[in-house]
A and B are shown apart, each in its own frame.
Chain A
């Protein structure tokens, strides 16, 4: 079946602009996760959704970052007033209904460059 898809695959924006990144999880996966991969910080957890609710937003680096999920499926990560340090690859993952250590399946990522 289809894997996790993300769009756009690449995004170039100017400092101060808002961006929206989209994630389509694997069908039937109720858990969804966002991570960020940057040169300096490696791979960092950002936020976790179970269904449409986000019980853990602790990884979001600032209040410029927000995410939502609708219909228990598609999720959007929004970065407002982008800064150059937001440049990174944003990865989305999904898994079956959350169980301890459940395998997460990753999408190809969105590469964001803030000029």
Chain B
């Protein structure tokens, strides 16, 4: 079965400092991997998507993620946090059916002034 583990339930950073949100996945095949963000009382928004074209994936709002097969990781990074980045972030892997998505438990990012 395909699954993801988000290693931190909460991450707190200061504005202007780097962001690292960690995600490990488990899959018996080459999966599609996603990061989604959810701002309070808002829907899920796609940040970026990996589908085997390139291991370093650039997304919206300055976020990027690197697919490391040897480490089964897909960590999300941003060089400099902004107050508006405060939200819940979900690492997601496609199921072997190809349509159902398996979500991690989420990481809540807090950005302090």
Interface residues of A, Cβ cutoff 8 Å to B: 3-4, 31, 33, 35, 42-43, 45, 48, 56, 59, 91, 93, 95, 98-109
A42 contacts B106, C-beta separation under 8 Å: yes
A98 contacts B103, C-beta separation under 8 Å: no
By a CB distance below 8 angstroms, the chain A residues around B103 are 42-43
CB-nearest residue of chain B relative to A105? B46
B100 contacts A106, C-beta separation under 8 Å: no
A101 contacts B32, C-beta separation under 8 Å: yes
By a CB distance below 8 angstroms, the chain B residues around A59 are 100
A-contacting 9-mer, from B15-23, B66-74, B76-84, B91-99: B91-99
CB-nearest residue of chain B relative to A44? B103
How many residues of B are in contact with the other chain, CB < 8 A? 24
Chain A CB within 8 A of B105 CB: yes
By a CB distance below 8 angstroms, the chain B residues around A106 are 36, 43-45
B90 contacts A56, C-beta separation under 8 Å: no
Instruction: For residue B28, give the distance in angstroms from its CB to the closest CB of chain A.
Output: 14
A108 contacts B99, C-beta separation under 8 Å: no
B99 contacts A56, C-beta separation under 8 Å: yes
B101 contacts A108, C-beta separation under 8 Å: no
B43 contacts A91, C-beta separation under 8 Å: yes
Which one of A33, A42, A102 lies within 8 Å of B105 (CB-CB)? A42
A100 contacts B98, C-beta separation under 8 Å: yes
Chain B, residues 34-67, CB within 8 Å of chain A (1/0): the string is 1010000011111001010000000000000000
Expressed in whole angstroms, the Cα–Cα distance for A100 and B95 within the complex equals: 9
Asked whether A98 and B49 contact (CB < 8 A) given A43-B103, A109-B43, the answer is: no
Instruction: For residue B8, give the distance in angstroms from its CB to the closest CB of chain A.
Output: 15
CB-nearest residue of chain A relative to B100? A45
